[in-house]
Amino acid sequence: MKRAFLIILLLFAVFYFSCRKENEKAFWDTQLLAPLIDASLGINNLLPDSILKANPDSSLKIVYENDIYKLAMDTILKIPDTTVKQFFVIPVPVTFSPDQTVVSNSPSETTYSLQGVQLRSTVIKAGLLHYNVKSLIHQITDIVYSIPCAKLNGNPFSISISVPAATGNMPGIYDQTFDLSGYDIDLTGIYNNKVNTLYTSLTAKISQQGQAVLVNPTDSLIINSTFYKVVPSYAKGYFGQNTFNVGPSQSKFTMFNRIVSGTLKFESVNFNLKIENPIGLDARIYFNNLSSINSRTGTPPINLQNSIIGSETNINRASESGGMVYSTTANFPLNSSNSNIKDLIENLPDKFAYSMKLITNPLGNISGSNDFIYSDKLLKASLNMEIPLSVVANNLTLVDTLALNTAGSTQNINSGTISLFADNGFPFDAGIQIYLLNSSNGIADSLLGSSNTIVEAPVNSSLRVIGKKLTKIMIPLSKAKMTQLYNTKKLMLKVKFNTSSQPSYIKIYSDYTINIRLVGDVNYTIHLQ
């Protein structure tokens, strides 16, 4: 009897679905669980991995070096663009035969004006020679132009050129640019007894393929040799006794770029202001000011208070031997006992501002004109720091952008609930907010009505985490909000850390993380075709 009843029921169902109208399609609602985010946030989301170092007990410290000032090569030495003009005139009319010399090995010296600098030699990193000749001689003129004091791989600079013949009153013109990169130039003149002095040589003759030509006093050779964009890679001589005012200026400080707001207090900080001098000259530095700037919060700059500010610091010259440079360094420890460096770094700066005065060779030419400088080895001032990550945090806010893992059509979404699972391995609470981003990565909406708290991990008597703490936050969403979520490509997490519930500074260890998983529990309507 039961079997017969089931057969009748099955036949009835087949009959019903085969006979219903087209617009009476079947549908039903269903639930779908889908992971949207699965992320692990560690201390590297607050601070770059590259500056975090683990101690033997796996507690972390910040080890960071930040250049706050680097001397520019052209502060010490800048070679100006220089044009050397030469006029060659035959005083009386002379007929020259083919291959006959018109100008015979004419040396010429040019002295550069270098504002107190007395160069004996230089190696050119980059530079150009623009060579222009105007000839009023009515035959082709062959010219050999050389710079005997400029050598590349031991070979002097030399060019052999042919200048077209003049036509009527129109001069023959030769115009060309040559690369001087890599040339080693002696600047002591023809007899090696001068400074800043370049010498050249020129020979001109009527072309061997030409014809005899009458050259009158008006038939001159006019030559312009322009040395420009000359940048030395090395120079030697005496760089003068000069005073340079540097700044006010600013340098970037990127250590806290991922922190958008809040405060972070460190139990201790160890800084060293290091001035490194790889230049072969003595110097004297006066720091007028050094301050930290947090342009994200707009708080007033904090000025360094230490004996180095407002007093002179002598910097000894470097030495060189066998192509090796031996720099000198001056170190100035900065800690809580001799300065307010802790206040400067707890300002969470993104910039350091400074102004200073630099005096070169304060005792004069004591090197016997043996000062030296390399373009890639320049004086710099840097802050070296080592900071144990033992901290107190108050609303310390990090922001991280994550790709949202959504797929499929959103047309049949009814509503849903987002579940946030946060497994906290840090010994402090964390408030969390989640934002939907638009295509321009701007905030379009938020998922939470307000910040929700992720509970801190349990700790032992040494305030070391002994296990993670799971927090679950349910986020009910309307159909419109759920559709918006599933059309979003990226989310932004904003997490605020607080250690206020702990009695003292908290050490951060390398294994501390927060695992965040966002799961969508979505109600769909499925239509049968």
Could you tell me the CATH number of the domain that includes residue 31?
2.60.120
Cβ atoms of 433 and 448 closer than 8 Å = yes
**Which amino acid is located at 202 in the chain?**
L
Number of separate domains in the chain: 3
pLDDT tens-digit series, residues 447-499: 777 668 888 899 888 889 999 999 988 888 777 777 777 778 888 888 888 87
Cα distances from 149 to residues 6, 128, 129, 239, in angstroms, run 111, 16, 15, 21
Residues 252 and 319 in one domain: yes
Per the domain annotation, does 132 fall within a domain? yes
Residues 55 and 65 in one domain: no
pLDDT tens-digit series, residues 337-374: 999 999 999 999 999 999 999 999 999 999 999 999 99
Residues 213 and 87 in one domain: yes
**Which amino acid is located at 154 in the chain?**
G
Cβ atoms of 327 and 277 closer than 8 Å = yes
Per the domain annotation, does 3 fall within a domain? no
The answer on pLDDT for 18 being more than 80 is no
Highest-scoring range by mean pLDDT, 10-19, 197-206, 253-262, 476-485: 197-206
Residues 229 and 84 in one domain: yes
Residues 211 and 254 in one domain: no
Q: What is the DSSP string of 255-295?
A: TTTTEEEEEEEES--EEEEEEEE-SSS-EEEEEEEEEEE-T
Per the domain annotation, does 409 fall within a domain? yes
The answer on pLDDT for 64 being more than 80 is yes
Per the domain annotation, does 16 fall within a domain? no
Q: What is the mean pLDDT of residues 494-519?
A: 81
Ranges assigned E (strand) in 43-100:
52-54, 60-70, 82-88, 94-96
Q: What is the mean pLDDT of residues 26-33?
A: 40
Q: What is the DSSP string of 414-475?
A: EEEEEEEEEEE-SSSEEEEEEEEE-TTS-EEEESSSS-EEEPPPPB-TTS-B-S-EEEEEEE
Per the domain annotation, does 326 fall within a domain? yes
Name residues whose C-beta falls within 8 Å of residue 406's C-beta, 6 or more positions apart in sequence: 34, 36, 485, 486, 487, 488, 520
How much is the pTM?
0.75
Residues 263 and 291 in one domain: yes
Per the domain annotation, does 30 fall within a domain? yes
Residues 491 and 444: their CA atoms lie apart, in Å, by 10
Residues 35 and 103 in one domain: no
Per the domain annotation, does 346 fall within a domain? yes
Residues 376 and 412 in one domain: no
Residues 98 and 160 in one domain: yes
The answer on pLDDT for 248 being more than 50 is yes
Residues 103 and 137: their CA atoms lie apart, in Å, by 12
Quick one: pLDDT band at residue 501, thresholds 50, 70, 90?
low
Residues 408 and 509 in one domain: yes
Could you give the percent of the chain with pLDDT greater than 70? 88
Residues 376 and 522 in one domain: no
The answer on pLDDT for 41 being more than 80 is no
- Domain boundary among the residues 360, 388, 416 is at 388
Domain membership of residue 234 as a residue range: 78-238
pLDDT tens-digit series, residues 377-418: 999 999 899 999 888 888 888 777 877 766 544 455 566 777
Per the domain annotation, does 9 fall within a domain? no
- Domain boundary among the residues 238, 262, 289 is at 238
**Tokens of residue 142, six digits:** 């062959």
Residues 244 and 382 in one domain: yes
- Domain boundary among the residues 214, 238, 262 is at 238
Residues 85 and 224: their CA atoms lie apart, in Å, by 5
